[in-house]
């Protein structure tokens, strides 16, 4: 199976096995260089997520095979397929499945993947919008669905979002407020307060309020939470969750540890819901993307999105790991 391109450009991470130092460069590849898969896709748009930042900077061992083309999300058009579900011309999205970690990823004009990993681009969304949403938005929707499943409704009380000015956080604020929730946005960047209000946040909470040593229980403040940060912030959010509230744990931008106790769970019936987007089943993905296409305010999506080109990916990777990126990045790939 071959696609339409004889050669194409890709961002490649290589590693010196002696020094264990990795380097990143744009290179030219041929279809024969790609890893096995039953669908070829011309990649049109991608994005830079926190995880992509970790992969490119090497800050955490996201990449588990070298060399690697990073990039965990893409939108594009099928150019060749031996998979029953897909034919040339189909518009598709890919999020996760180890792409950009163990399988060649999105920062490449051509990708070869398993057709089982793809979902159709929902009607009403462009490829660029799909990548403005990306794994961040799709995960925020999985988190919102988890809160709903556990009975957190707009009438239950305010819902808090941590890491709110980041990609997943910005999407969570927007989606929750569009559903009628009162959203409180936790940020370490007070100068982004106006931006967060424009996405629908009713109240801004300084990250410093939640960074301290967690107590087992604190004053009940929130009916629900979408956390992207982990660490002390998540522990303090859990301690401040109302009786029978639910906290959706999505991320680790502030740390992997969780210094909490069983008190919120056995004395307040708090639920801690884990959100895992990478291997989420197809039905959950399709439902999340259907709801994103139906519910997401396009003007707010545009307001949180910055377009960058292929060459800007490495710098963006350093910026996102340093917590300097606001909202979402869209990369034009081809």
193 closest CA partner among 179, 211, 205, 209:
205
- The 3-state secondary structure of 122-189, one letter per residue: CCCCCHHHHHHHHHHHHHHHHHHHHHHHCCCCHHHCCEEECCCCCHHHHHHHHHHHHCCCCEEEEECC
* Nearest CA among 135, 196, 171, 167 for reference residue 329: 167
Of residues 2 through 61, those in contact with ligand NDP by CB under 6 A are 49-51
Instruction: Name which of 33 and 227 has its Cβ closer to ligand NDP.
Output: 227
Cα gap 123→136, rounded to integer Å: 20
d(CA 12, CA 201): 39
Q: Is 331 in the site for ligand NDP (CB under 6 A)?
A: no
Count interface residues toward ligand NDP (CB under 6 A).
32
Considering only 8-16, 19-27, 166-174, 291-299, which stretch makes contact with ligand NDP by CB under 6 A?
A: 166-174
**Least distance in Å: CB of 328 to ligand NDP?**
8
| Chain center to CA of 102 | 18
Give the range of 123-131, 151-159, 251-259, 303-311 binding ligand NDP by CB under 6 A: 251-259
Smallest distance, ligand NDP to C-beta of residue 163, A? 3
CB 5 → ligand NDP: shortest distance, Å?
Answer: 29
Pull the structure tokens for residue 314: 């490495």
- Shortest Å distance, C-beta 210 to ligand NDP: 9
CA 247, 258, 73, 96 torsion: positive or negative?
negative
Nearest CA-CA partner of 313 in 97, 53, 72, 75: 53
- Interface positions, 173-232, toward ligand NDP (CB under 6 A): 187-189, 207, 228-229
Is residue 139 near ligand NDP by the rule CB under 6 A? yes
Residue at shortest CB range from ligand NDP: 166
Contact with ligand NDP (CB under 6 A): which of 277, 289, 313, 316?
Answer: 277
Binding site for ligand NDP (CB under 6 A): 49-51, 135-136, 139, 163-169, 187-189, 207, 228-229, 233, 250-254, 275-278, 320, 323, 325
């Amino acid at each position: 199976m071959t696609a339409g391109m004889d050669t194409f450009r890709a961002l490649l991470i290589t590693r010196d096995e002696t020094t264990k130092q990795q380097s990143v460069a744009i290179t030219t590849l041929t279809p024969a260089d790609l890893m096995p898969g039953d669908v070829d896709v011309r990649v049109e748009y991608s994005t830079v997520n926190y995880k992509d930042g970790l992969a490119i900077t090497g800050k955490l061992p996201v990449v588990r095979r070298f060399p690697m083309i990073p990039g965990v999300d893409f939108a594009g058009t099928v150019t060749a397929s031996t998979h029953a579900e897909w034919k040339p011309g189909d518009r598709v999205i890919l999020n996760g499945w180890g792409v950009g970690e163990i399988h060649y990823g999105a920062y490449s004009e051509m990708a070869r993947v398993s057709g089982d990993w793809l979902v159709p681009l929902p009607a009403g969304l462009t490829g660029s919008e799909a990548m403005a949403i990306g794994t961040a938005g799709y995960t925020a929707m999985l988190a919102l669905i988890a809160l709903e499943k556990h009975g957190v409704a707009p009438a239950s009380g305010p819902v808090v979002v941590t890491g709110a000015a980041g990609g997943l956080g910005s999407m969570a604020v927007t989606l929750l407020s569009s559903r009628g929730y009162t959203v409180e946005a936790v940020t370490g960047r007070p100068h982004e307060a106006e931006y967060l209000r424009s996405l629908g946040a009713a109240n801004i909470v300084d990250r410093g309020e939640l960074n301290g040593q967690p107590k087992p229980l604190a004053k009940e403040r929130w009916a629900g939470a979408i956390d992207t940060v982990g660490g002390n912030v998540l522990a303090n959010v859990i301690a401040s969750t109302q009786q029978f509230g639910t906290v959706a744990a999505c991320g680790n931008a502030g740390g992997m540890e969780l210094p909490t106790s069983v008190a919120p769970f056995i004395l307040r019936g708090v639920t801690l819901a884990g959100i895992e987007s990478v291997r989420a089943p197809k039905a959950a993905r399709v439902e999340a993307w259907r709801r994103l296409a139906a519910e997401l305010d396009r003007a707010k999506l545009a307001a949180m999105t910055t377009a960058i080109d292929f060459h800007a990916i490495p710098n963006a990777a350093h910026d996102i790991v340093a917590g300097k990126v606001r909202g979402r990045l869209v990369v034009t790939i081809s």
